[in-house]
Homo-oligomer: A and B are copies of this chain.
Amino acid sequence: MSSAPILNQETIKTRCTICKIRSYSFCRCLDEERLEKFSKISSEKNYTNKENIFIQNDPAKHLFNITEGNVKIYQLLDDGRIQIIGFLYPGDFFGSYKNNKYNYSAEAIGDLKTCVFDQKILEQYLDENPVLAKELLNQTSFELTVAQDRITVLGKLSAIERISTFLTNISEQRKRIGWQNNPISLPMTRQDIADYLGLTIETVSREFSNLKSSNLIKVISSKQIYLPNIDALKDQTK
């Protein structure tokens, strides 16, 4: 079980108003006035590469919001098999809003800055600020559609289709949050991609090679991928 975040009293007043990712996060619905109170119910906690933020089935006490860096959330089977549920980026939230156990483990990919909420305190805050409850509902509904799309990817797509979908999705997600969307940077390893797509690292590597020979990707470095023809790549996705 991972340790609890510590409140940082010096920074709480201004933290939210100067937050760079607020417009991409569920707290965007709060006005300046509400934001001051909101700052007080959250705190900052940072992690380093491969550090666990929490473990599946831990008592679920907190909800996290990424302000900087990346997170992978994953489920582990008894025999060591791993399934990565998702890669999360600035503005994404994770943890548990309501359940008493975390449904997955969470681990930092590279340096990570998060904003932490106590589950109970956040729930109280929702009662006083229904607008935030509605925004969380919106965001959670969206997460649900993402998860449903992933069910189809894992249930029906071939290896090459999964990889192509993965690459085009990343490109689109980067565009959405205003990052460079071509070439794309992949913060995760090939093994992570495999565990995300329900494949082995060898299959991922082979399909990357196939895409390379078809000139559908150009591997600048192993974590920098250029997509010369996104439309043609999209044709591979189904």
**Copies of this chain, how many?**
2
Query: Min CB distance, A82 to chain B, in Å?
Result: 8
Q: Does A111 contact B (CB under 8 A)?
A: no
Query: Min CB distance, A50 to chain B, in Å?
Result: 21
Stretch at the interface among A151-159, A178-186, A207-215: A151-159
Query: Min CB distance, A148 to chain B, in Å?
Result: 5
Cβ-defined contact, B152 with A151, below 8 A: no
Main secondary structure of the interface of A (DSSP, over half): helix
Cβ-defined contact, B156 with A83, below 8 A: yes
Q: Does A75 contact B (CB under 8 A)?
A: yes
**Which size class do A's interface residues fall under?**
35 or more
Q: Which chain B positions have C-beta within 8 A of A83?
A: 151-152, 155-156
Q: Does A64 contact B (CB under 8 A)?
A: no
- A residues 25-84 near B (Cβ < 8 Å) are 75, 77-79, 81-83
Q: Does A219 contact B (CB under 8 A)?
A: no
Query: Min CB distance, A201 to chain B, in Å?
Result: 14
Q: Does A13 contact B (CB under 8 A)?
A: no
Q: Does A169 contact B (CB under 8 A)?
A: no
Q: Does A126 contact B (CB under 8 A)?
A: yes
Known A-B contacts A133-B130, A137-B140; the reply to A155 vs B97 at CB < 8 A is: no
